[in-house]
Amino acid sequence: MFRERQNPYLEGNYAPVSDQLSTEHLKVKGQIPSDLNGLLLRNGPNPMQAPNPKKHHWFMGDGMLHGLRISEGRPIWYRNQTVSANKSSPNTHVIGHAGNIYALVEAGGAPVMVDPELNSLAQAPFDGTLKRGFTAHTKHEAETGSLHAICYDFKRGYRASYLEIDTDNRVKQHHELDLPGQPMIHDCAITDQYVIVFDLPVTFSLSRMIRRYLPFAWNPKHQARIGLLNRHQPDQAIVWFEIAPCYIFHPQNAFEDERGQVILEGMRYERIFDKVKIGPFGESLPYLTRWTLDPKTGDTTEQQIDDRPAEFPRVHPDMEGKLTQYGYALGLARDPADTNFNQIIKYHRHGDRAERHTLAPSQMAGEPIFVPSAEATLEDDGYLLSFVFDQSTESSRVIILDAKDVEAEPIGEIELPQRVPFGFHGSWISNSP
Ligand SMILES: [Fe+2]
């Protein structure tokens, strides 16, 4: 996809920004719904020192937050600020949990707490109860308010850990997992009973580390497996299911059906980090795929759901681990001649169909974040928020789509004072308790 250029992840809208701005003067097109009251946050890598373009991987670089506060139908401010505290600069995700905000990264890096004005705080994450690094992706259990996480750190050898963080912001449960290798475990999924562990064939590579590349590589000798860890009885052995070789950065969601089978849906790559050392794209494209895992029989099935590539899947924030009717994702280009990130997708479970909001050819979106509306009664009563970059004007905006009618024009758009580089993940932190 990108082979002709030196390092596409330092060019165009992947290029970092150097200014850290704060402004209250923001132009609005259309309407901002009056029930959107809170803070939209997005994290991403933004190297502040020029990296070596031959070796720079998209996943490396200082974390930078972009934030947009909205209240009563108006934008209050936009600002961007680097994340840095306690020698950590997490660059991958930013979440709210039990009244705090955390910037997150995987592979041993510590989370950094930030205040609602985006300033990094020196306070120890999770009230000092976190003993090691954390993860970029947690799963939120709506009933209890707990966060669930699978954490790995190649410096710890063939191990990973399962952590539960309770609503007092403390580690409530910490369980060690022994693994047959050192896989990159970017995310996890939950169901009512299980936390789902991805043991996939992208593993720690000492030779890449020595040569100063991102130290993970495709490893054809590593059996791809998905594990079910009973999170109510984590001392029980993990039930493993062998699957065809692939990599999954992001599950869309998982749940248990009435027969006790686990249904997992996520973005499946046939192969990554093999020849291409600088990013996830260029070897295979990710497609929404469904795995059915039967703990009673040990059987596994795999089915591709959509034939158009997509990444950054999200669901309703209170329905992780539950049967969801809808998922939201960012469409990728199938052909290098097409614009990448040009569609925001709504997947429907019923009929396994997809609706698409296609942006203007010059525009590219980021991860769509679903925010339920104040009076929501249905799962898709709400909004999709996304940072959109326009190549023709070199400018960025936040767009607000009606999640019930994603193909329609945005309800509202907020123009931002500077370009927001493509980044990774973010959250909506509502003002309401
Ligand atoms: Fe991610």
> pLDDT tens, 263-272?
999 999 999 9
Residue-wise pLDDT for 250-263, tens only, equals 999 999 999 999 99
What pLDDT is stored for residue 160 in this prediction?
96
What pLDDT is stored for residue 1 in this prediction?
44
Distance 78 CA to ligand 1 centre (A): 23
Distance 425 CA to ligand 1 centre (A): 7
What pLDDT is stored for residue 98 in this prediction?
93
Distance 418 CA to ligand 1 centre (A): 24
Distance 138 CA to ligand 1 centre (A): 10
Specify the number of domains making up the chain: 1
Does residue 51 or residue 405 have the better pLDDT? 405
Residue-wise pLDDT for 406-422, tens only, equals 999 999 999 999 999 99
B/e letters for 372-401, b = 16+ CB within 10 Å, e = fewer, are bbeeeeebbebbbbbbbbbeeeeebbbbbb
Sequence-distant (6+) residues with CB within 8 A of 161 are 132, 150, 151, 152, 174, 175, 176, 177
Closest CA to 83 of 96, 99, 101, 69: 101
User: Please, which pLDDT band fits residue 3 given cuts at 50, 70 and 90?
Assistant: very low
User: Please, which pLDDT band fits residue 32 given cuts at 50, 70 and 90?
Assistant: very high
- Please say whether the beta carbons of 147 and 167 come within 8 A: no
Domain-located, residue 272:
yes
Q: Helix-strand-coil percent breakdown of the chain, rounded to 5?
A: 5, 40, 55
Residue-wise pLDDT for 196-218, tens only, equals 999 999 999 999 999 988 899 99
Distance 259 CA to ligand 1 centre (A): 30
The overall average pLDDT reported for the chain is 95
Q: What percent of the chain lies above the pLDDT cut of 70?
A: 97
Domain-located, residue 71:
no
Q: Give the separation between CA 132 and CA 120, rounded to whole angstroms.
A: 19
* C-alpha distances in Å from residue 350, one per residue of 79, 324, 354: 40, 10, 10
Domain-located, residue 392:
no
Distance 312 CA to ligand 1 centre (A): 7
Sign of CA dihedral 276, 282, 286, 292: negative
Distance 112 CA to ligand 1 centre (A): 17
Please give the average per-residue pLDDT across 171-175, as a whole number.
Answer: 96
Distance 249 CA to ligand 1 centre (A): 6
Distance 248 CA to ligand 1 centre (A): 10
Residue-wise pLDDT for 98-115, tens only, equals 999 999 999 999 999 999
Q: What percent of the chain lies above the pLDDT cut of 90?
A: 89
Domain-located, residue 236:
yes
Closest CA to 33 of 345, 346, 403: 403
What pLDDT is stored for residue 336 in this prediction?
67
Domain-located, residue 125:
no
User: Please, which pLDDT band fits residue 59 given cuts at 50, 70 and 90?
Assistant: confident
User: Please, which pLDDT band fits residue 241 given cuts at 50, 70 and 90?
Assistant: very high
User: Please, which pLDDT band fits residue 273 given cuts at 50, 70 and 90?
Assistant: very high
Please give the average per-residue pLDDT across 338-356, as a whole number.
Answer: 94
Statement: residue 5 has pLDDT above 90:
no
Could you give phi then psi for residue 128, rounded to 5 degrees?
A: 75, 10
Lowest mean pLDDT among 35-39, 277-281, 368-372: 277-281
- Please say whether the beta carbons of 77 and 22 come within 8 A: yes
Please give the average per-residue pLDDT across 164-192, as a whole number.
Answer: 97
Distance 186 CA to ligand 1 centre (A): 6
Statement: residue 2 has pLDDT above 50:
no
Please give the average per-residue pLDDT across 339-365, as a whole number.
Answer: 95
Question: What is the residue range of 278's domain?
Answer: 179-305
Distance 15 CA to ligand 1 centre (A): 19
Please give the average per-residue pLDDT across 369-386, as a whole number.
Answer: 97
Please give the average per-residue pLDDT across 16-23, as a whole number.
Answer: 96
Please give the average per-residue pLDDT across 3-12, as a whole number.
Answer: 76
What pLDDT is stored for residue 58 in this prediction?
87
Distance 25 CA to ligand 1 centre (A): 31
User: Please, which pLDDT band fits residue 4 given cuts at 50, 70 and 90?
Assistant: very low
What pLDDT is stored for residue 243 in this prediction?
98
DSSP letter, residue 189: E
Domain-located, residue 72:
no
